[in-house]
Amino acid sequence: MALSEPLLVGPDRDGRTVAIVDGRVAGSAAQGSRTLSCTEGRIAPGAVCAHTHLYSGLAPYGMPAPSPAPENFLQILERVWWRLDRALDAETLRAAAMDYVARALLAGTTALIDHHESPNLIEGSLAILAEVCEQLGMRALLCYGATERNFGRIEAERGLAECRRVPASSLVRGLVGLHACFTVSDDTIRAAADLARELSTVLHVHVAEDSADVRDSRSRGAAGPLERLSNLGALVPGSILAHGVHLTRGQVEAAGLASCWLVHNPRSNEGNRVGYAGNLQFASKIALGTDGWNADMAEEEAALVRLAKDHGDNRAAGRLAGGHALIAERFRAVSEPLAPGALGDAVVWENEKVRHSIVGGRVAVEDGRLIGGNIDVISRAARDSALGLWERMAAI
Ligand SMILES: [Zn+2]
């Protein structure tokens, strides 16, 4: 496992320094450390995006509006995302991930928790995402979201098998993914939970994003998706439950008692018109995600502040910081960011812009410039790939 050279960041304008040795924050700088000075800047923890979809990274490059226009959440999935994911090939997935990860690093996001699906490119898909993260220097938790919605049980088995193949490193770790309760059978849920326990990891699954997910679980005899997961022994402690828009206060508290994380995705929820996740204020472990929107967490947090105010939710603060504890849990690091033993993930802000992004002690953005690739080349490749993707989507 390649470790980065020892690094000393600072002193910043407040006189603060952060030493990073073997990828973790250290109490003092190691001899021979490289120094990254920032006397005009301010050192801060890197941001964590706790739920996203790298596969949708080409959407900002002119994705055509669906026709006819979707009228509900299921139609959005069927007419947009479940067509886009089937149209992905290795080249478009790589281009999407490169663009998304590059922009995330440039925005000061140093860790992403991804939920991937590409039904016609299951095997090897997570290796592509891992390679992109390694090349650009992004910390990531990766999984394939197993589902039965296209090809039945065999599809889910292949998705779970892909989760096994995440090439773990100092930057990348695997999770076990399920798309959502409403597209999988009990057997798949049980198999996913067994696999998570076998691999000493956790599940990452969409839960109660829309009322359709709740109705589906009820039709199968459970009180809701949380209870269905619980009944099947799938609330593996530490699991990541995305959305929870339609969970009751009691269900949110039950998820906390099971030591599960909830991830709020305010921009996505607003865009999909699924509702405001008001009961997440009762979550004990909660983080902020973007659900495929760009990983500029300052933008996501601004949306959270706006929507929380609109909905009279005065307990929405601190969700961005929650991501640090989530990512630290999975990498078995100290959860207090920038404390000795924490992940060596930091950002230097200067004039309200990201000057440096450091991930695991490796400088991924220096003086506002991406180190692992050229952003103009990456953007051009994304734009070119997107054209072919929209053509293939139209044919599906
Ligand atoms: Zn999602």
Condensed to tens digits (0 to 9), the pLDDT of residues 169-189 reads 999 999 999 999 999 999 999
CA atoms of 340 and 328, how far apart (whole Å): 13
Residue 241 has pLDDT above 50, yes or no: yes
For residue 143, the model assigns a pLDDT of 98
Average pLDDT rounded to a whole number, residues 347-366:
97
Per-residue model confidence as pLDDT tens digits over 64-112: 999 899 999 999 999 999 999 999 999 999 999 999 999 999 999 999 9
For residue 384, the model assigns a pLDDT of 97
* The model scores a pTM over 0.95: yes
Average pLDDT rounded to a whole number, residues 32-58:
97
Residue 2 has pLDDT above 70, yes or no: no
CA of 145 to the centre of ligand 1 (A): 10
For residue 4, the model assigns a pLDDT of 76
CA of 115 to the centre of ligand 1 (A): 7
For residue 104, the model assigns a pLDDT of 98
CA of 229 to the centre of ligand 1 (A): 18
**Domains of the chain, CATH where assigned:** 7-45+341-367 (2.30.40.10), 47-330 (3.20.20.140)
Categorize the per-residue pLDDT at 1 as very low, low, confident or very high, splitting at 50, 70 and 90: very low
CA of 55 to the centre of ligand 1 (A): 11
CA of 291 to the centre of ligand 1 (A): 4
For residue 65, the model assigns a pLDDT of 92
